[in-house]
Amino acid sequence: MTLRLAGVVTQVLPNGNPVVAARQQFVVNNELRNLQVTGVIRPQDIASDNTVLHDRMAEARIAYGGRGQLTDLQRARWGQQMIDILMPW
């Protein structure tokens, strides 16, 4: 899967490097998925089409998550979580 995110410059550092943030929601298998990317980029890493690859971001924070039936089923129930905490062996 390949995604392009539209982001915004949230801050410009004293050295001239912009801090960018991008977020997108999409649906996969009836599950709502969220992708968030933030980081610092150098002006020279911005391509002529105004894009930046994620591996060119300093202090990159990439978060991927979601919610839906499959996510709920894969998460252990609270009773099972308590048993795992009390008896980890």
Length of the chain: 89
What gap in Å lies between CA 23 and CA 3, rounded to an integer? 11
pTM as predicted? 0.65
Question: Is the CB of residue 29 less than 8 Å from the CB of residue 19?
Answer: no
Q: How far apart are CA 43 and CA 17, in angstroms?
A: 6
Written as tens digits, the pLDDT of the chain (89 aa) is: 677 888 999 999 999 999 999 998 888 777 888 889 999 999 999 999 988 988 899 999 989 887 766 555 556 676 766 677 777 76
**Which stretch of DSSP H or E encloses residue 21?**
strand 18-28
Domain ranges of the chain: 7-86
